[in-house]
Amino acid sequence: MIIVLFGKPGAGKGTQAPLLAAALGVPTLATGDELRAAIRAGSPLGLEAKSYMDRGDLVPDSVILGIIKQALSEQRNAGGVLLDGVVRTVPQAEGLDKVVVELGKKVEAVLAFDIDDEEIVRRLASRTVCESCQTPYTGREPGTACDKCGGTLIRRKDDEPEAIRNRLEVYDRQTAPVLDWYRSHGTKVAVIDAVGPVQDVTARALGVLAS
């Protein structure tokens, strides 16, 4: 089972991914988390990605496709994986398709979390994330401890107003067309209302997958 979680920045992909993964019994892969881990480790991948990410631009497709190929060939992902924000351009969708076909698999569904820009700006303005495990929080101060792992909560650099504006523009220009690519290739695309209590959004997503 390979499921793509899709949506604007702040739509709630990172919040929903672990909840859906636990319910479905599959691991998650989030390219944003992988890239931030590489930046913290000071690796060549992190050095290449940092300036793109700080501005809110997309990291080059070649870098993302390298991460996807590596991850999907790992044993822990052999039974399926939930892809959180992994596909953001049409070339990435084409590249992922090639990899899954080579592995004899397919993308089962794309869950597109739907939310308007005003709500996104409100959510990201009050978000902090754990520096270690990347869990997102609302209304918690930077410097306090993560409930899950005890790590320190920080503000993300790309949650500054200018970077948020750029990320939303990048989404409209480069990422939104991916949905039509999947529709035209016969993949199930389900649009999920991403507003409301977190558990309600999870239930909507699981309901769509079961139907």
85 CB-near residues (< 8 Å, 6+ apart) = 5, 6, 7, 13, 14, 30, 31, 32
The active-site residue out of 8, 13, 36, 123 is 13
Residue 103 CA to residue 13 CA, distance in Å, equals 25
The active-site residue out of 76, 156, 157, 173 is 156
Cβ atoms of residues 127 and 138 within 8 Å: yes
Shortest distance, position 11 Cβ to ligand AP5, whole Å? 4
CB atoms within 10 A of CB 170: 19
Pick the closer one to ligand AP5 by CB: 79 or 196. Answer: 196
The active-site residue out of 8, 36, 123, 127 is 127
Residue 7 CA to residue 167 CA, distance in Å, equals 12
Q: Any catalytic annotation for residue 165?
A: no
Tokens representing residue 55 in the block: 């501005």
Shortest distance, position 192 Cβ to ligand AP5, whole Å? 11
Distances (CA, A) of 36 to 4, 52, 161, 170: 20, 12, 20, 19
Q: Any catalytic annotation for residue 140?
A: no
Q: Any catalytic annotation for residue 122?
A: no
Shortest distance, position 97 Cβ to ligand AP5, whole Å? 14
List residues near ligand AP5 by CB under 6 A: 7, 9-15, 30-32, 35, 52-53, 56-59, 64, 85-86, 88, 92, 123, 127, 136-138, 158, 167, 196, 198, 201
Q: Any catalytic annotation for residue 76?
A: no
| Active site amino acids | 13, 88, 127, 156, 167
